[in-house]
Amino acid sequence: MSKQTFFSGVQPSGNLHLGNYLGAIKNWADIQEEYNAICCVVNLHAITVPQDPEELKRKTIEVAKLYIASGLDPEKVTIFRQSDVPQHAELMWLLNTITKTGELFKMTQFKDKSGIQSNGATEKISVGAGLLNYPVLMAADILIYDANLVPVGEDQTQHIEITRTLARRFNKKFEEVFTIPDIYTSPAGKKIMSLTEPLKKMSKSAESANSRIELLDEPDVIRKKIMKATTDGENKIYYNDEPEKAGLKNLLNIFSIITDSTPEQIAEDYKDKGYGDLKKDLADVLVEYLKPIQEKFNLITDEEVLNIFAKSKNELLPLAEKKLAIAKEAIGLE
């Protein structure tokens, strides 16, 4: 029996952080043996907001290196550059014709980035159309490979829901062409919050670099960020959901995930200690946790990554072209 397919990807913008790893990339590595795994560096998505061309090229290669350094095996996982398979963009156009603008304007990510408020008011509207169509390109990425499963962060589930909607709509309107994908979100990924604003999720687009532990942070940088992490004035360690304890809760969650424990157990271990002790030990654990990823990253050359991209392109182009042709024929274009 052939394996099912999972598809996922990360934008090559900003610096990948602990939340990206625990909430996404680590999960891909964990299930790569069970699935036909396709992992994309979504550089077309990245240009929905302004990018420096040279930086975009560099970051695209860097993200692929981090995929491999984080445990993805290029012999088992298809790691590719989104722009190398133009059928994604062509399928996006076909899907655009059955997508309602109202559906796109409701997307939380679009509203956040465009300034459009839930009541219809707007602070700014000078954004590109690509940002509005972001979810349709994401749908094309997934549907063109008949992905059965899409591992994503909780903030992306709305986009996968519209992918499922568009697949059903196309299948009903024309013929059964697309597989309806399932969503997988990691419980760990939901728990990684900003170090400076712990009621918000850790983000690579946040203005302050102190808000996140980046996968390539030097040990001293990791220690400084953890020691500066927002907590509260109580200096009493226990685990609960009180908003004022959100900073402590976040540190306990991170500590528990990377030590394969529970936050309650970590809190019990430190109940007679202060925040400084907890932060110092967490920083030490994080440094050791990220060390293997950083060491492997530094051994991967740009040439190796470009060779992987070339090989993956040759493997994926026939698959993408075949699915696109089926979709075009269903519509009446071929």
Residue 280 appears among annotated catalytic residues: no
Give the Cα separation of 147 and 166 in Å (integer): 14
Angle, CA 30 vertex, CA 229 and CA 269 arms, to 5°: 40
Annotated active-site residue in 26, 191, 201, 323 = 201
At position 35, the amino acid (one-letter code) is: Y
DSSP 62: H
Q: In what order do the strands lie in the sheet with 182-184?
A: 77-81, 36-41, 5-10, 149-151, 182-184
Q: Which residue has 């304890």 as its token pair? A: 245
At position 106, the amino acid (one-letter code) is: K
Annotated active-site residue in 57, 111, 204, 224 = 204
Looking at the chain, list the stretches that DSSP marks H as alpha helix, in order from N- to C-terminal side. Answer: 18-20, 26-31, 43-46, 53-69, 87-96, 101-105, 108-114, 129-132, 134-143, 157-173, 219-228, 246-258, 263-269, 275-299, 302-331
Are 185 and 151 spatial neighbours (Cβ–Cβ below 8 Å)? yes
Tell me the three state secondary structure of residue 77. strand
Annotated active-site residue in 57, 106, 111, 113 = 113
Tell me the three state secondary structure of residue 80. strand
Structure token digits, residue 77: 């996982």
Residue 201 appears among annotated catalytic residues: yes
Residues involved in catalysis: 113, 201, 204
